[in-house]
Amino acid sequence: MTPGMTPAVTARRRLPIGTALTYLSLIAAALVVLLPLLVVFLTSLKTSDEVAKGGALSLPRDWLNFANYATAFTDGHMLAAFGNTAFILVFSVGGTVIIGSMTAYAVDRFDFRAKKPVMALFLVATLVPGVTTQVATFQVVNGFGLVDTHWAPILLYMGTDIVSVYVFLQFIRSIPHSLDEAARLDGANAFTIYRKIIFPLLKPAIATVVIIKGITTYNDFYIPFLYLHSEDLGTISTSLFRFKGPFGAHWEAISAGAILVILPTLVVFLLLQRWIYNGFAQGATK
């Protein structure tokens, strides 16, 4: 560095090579992420003949060959799978929002003697990963006679979601208590305050929870795999998993199935990008 040069100038001079390397690394990463997906997309458009003869990176002859999608959709029972997943999704996400916000409201707005122990129960539960207790949880669910019904995953998703309680708790603290007080003076009881004041004000937190919960529920494999054995109860994860059995070597059909499952996620992601990033950043650090 020559003595007369200001740091700003040297910084600008040094930039090009550094920037080029930065972009190079970004492009490399993008290729690593996109290439496997792209190849599967290409495969999904090929005929079984093309898959057998051409390499994985060859292009399909007919770009509008959606026959594999039809196969995957009908033989993979995808319509039923999307229906089952939607049913579970609506109830478990709705339940999580109500349960989480009620817990947060009770804990943040009331002083009662058992408050610390109750919070400790929720806190300790965050340390127990669901996968470890499933052997015994299965017995509990079985005891209720809920195995192989939609209610097993719904109850499990609702009951074990502590992350959402934290998201709501963080948010509810920022709602001024004076709003509660004012409503109380107008004669509102605790339930009315929760329903008419707190719940509507929680909208941003609700959006966060709906997004995180929705995506994890849509993608979950472990719980539906353990609890939903009947084929007609299959969620998209388990239906896709089963689909591979009879189509073992037919990669064009399996690829179409995989793309069918990924597509809704891609659409939701593109539409809600900003909220999704924030949601995961908020949810995971709690």
Assign 3-class secondary structure to 109-174: HCCCCCHHHHHHHHHHHHCCCHHHHHHHHHHHHHHCCCCCCCHHHHHHHHHCCHHHHHHHHHHHCC
User: By C-beta, is 74 or 273 nearer to other proteins?
Assistant: 273
Are 96 and 213 a contacting pair, CB within 8 Å?
A: yes
Question: Measured from the CB of residue 58, what is the shortest distance to other proteins in angstroms?
Answer: 8
Nearest to 216 by CA among 283, 134, 126: 283
CA distance 221 to 234: 10
What residues contact 186, with CB distance under 8 A and at least 6 apart? none
φ, ψ at 61 (rounded to 5°): -75, -45
User: By C-beta, is 70 or 121 nearer to other proteins?
Assistant: 121
User: By C-beta, is 35 or 90 nearer to other proteins?
Assistant: 35
Question: Measured from the CB of residue 131, what is the shortest distance to other proteins in angstroms?
Answer: 5
Side chain identity, residue 284: A
Question: Measured from the CB of residue 127, what is the shortest distance to other proteins in angstroms?
Answer: 5
User: By C-beta, is 66 or 242 nearer to other proteins?
Assistant: 242
Question: Measured from the CB of residue 68, what is the shortest distance to other proteins in angstroms?
Answer: 13
Question: Measured from the CB of residue 62, what is the shortest distance to other proteins in angstroms?
Answer: 20
Nearest to 168 by CA among 191, 198, 190, 141: 198
Nearest to 209 by CA among 155, 165, 160, 173: 165
Question: Measured from the CB of residue 232, what is the shortest distance to other proteins in angstroms?
Answer: 18
